Amino acid sequence: MSHVLFPLALTAAMAGVSADGAPPQRYAFSEMLMGMPFRVVVYAPDEQSANRGVTAAYQRILQLNAVCSDYDADSELNRLCATAGTGRTVAISQDLFRILTASHELAKASAGAFDPTVGPLTRLWRRSRKSRRLPEAAVLSQARQAVGWQGLSLDKEHQTATLKLPKMQLDLGGIAVGFAIDEALLVLKEHGIKSALIDGSGDIGVSGPPPGEPGWRISVAPLDADGPPSRHLLVQHAAVTTSGDAFQFVEIDGVRYSHIVDPATGLGLTTRASVTIIAPTCLMADSHATAVCVLGPERGLAWIRKHAPQAEALFVTTKAQEPQAVIVTETPGFIRYEADPPPPAR
């Protein structure tokens, strides 16, 4: 998932004014969190206000990483996974229950194209990407037996979760970053910062626009990593996520595989694709981009129109017989966010 970000420059003519009459200033921060760079851009009356708000936002992201990480053996998620197949019902935090509920609902709506229980397959596929060898059929079959969103049971009244299948492993990699960005934007708002952008390695959420501007300008990463941005967008109070194989792929036996795993096969997707979702929340943009990638252009865009009419989608792919022929399809409302390219750098 990646974008090229072009934050709009602030000038005296653009700027609003703070309580003391001074225009808000632009402040940028970057920290490695959840295993990736989180870039935050805010407009605040002074450096102290910016530091205070962004520090609190980063603390919220760290808190959620301790809940959702599948790398941290002691995370709340992995403690839950340790009970898989035992029949135990586990009381979980409000944060984990919220994200599992959203994941479960999306899995059901997408018929498993997005599946939070895909962990055994993603772990297996990570090893295959490193070794450049496909998993053995028997090993893959065993891993698939531990996957299936129907094996995740949630009780809203008691805020509990049960993993019914032995060796189930939850993987929230396609939704947790979006959730964290939404929560961090709420923290910034609580600290009086009304204009902010958070970029978690390509998952982007924004609140109000920079002073005097209609929105944040975001350039969407191309189908090929070395190409120019494919589109330019202007957004506010929204989120933009792109999923695809431009930056994360592997070739095995002459076949190009994405890092995105198809829960139906247990292997990486083999269709060249880039999916961009614009949605009201980053949780929706992040998770729905994965689902649409797996569903493919025709089914994916039809699914978005039916199940998430408040979101817009762009699907860029190539013809199987003509890899150089690019095919672009999009939902009707995507063009509303189209912006002119930024001026060339001087």
**Rounded Cα gap, residues 226 and 223, in angstroms:** 9
How does residue 131 score in pLDDT terms, banded at 50, 70 and 90?
very high
- For residue 10, name the pLDDT band (cuts at 50, 70, 90): very low
Domain that holds residue 120: 76-163
Predicted local confidence at residue 346, as pLDDT: 60
Q: pLDDT at position 15, please?
A: 33
186 within some domain? no
pLDDT band at 78 (very low <50, low <70, confident <90, very high): very high
In whole angstroms, give the CA distance from residue 36 to residue 7: 20
Half-sphere exposure of 311 (CA within 13 A, CB side): 29
Q: Is residue 301 part of a domain?
A: no
H-helix or E-strand spanning residue 121: helix 119-131
* Within-domain flag for 247: no
Is 118 contained in some domain? yes
**Position 323 pLDDT exceeds 80:** no
Mean pLDDT of 189-217: 96
The tokens for 151 are 């094996």
Residue 219 identity: S
The domain that contains 93 carries what CATH number? 1.10.3980.10
Domain-embedded: residue 152: yes
Domain assignment of residue 100, yes or no: yes
> At 271, which helix (H) or strand (E)?
none
The conformational region for residue 4 under phi > 0 = left, psi -120 to 50 = alpha, else beta, is beta
Domain count, the chain: 1
User: Measuring CA to CA, which residue among 166, 137, 125, 89 is closest to residue 259?
Assistant: 125
Could you identify the residue written with the tokens 């990486």? Answer: 268
Does residue 80 form part of some domain?
yes
Q: Exposed, middle or buried, 185 (CB in 10 Å: 0-12/13-18/19+)?
A: buried
Asked, for residue 7, whether it belongs to a domain, the answer is no
Phi, psi of 217 (to 5 degrees): -90, 125
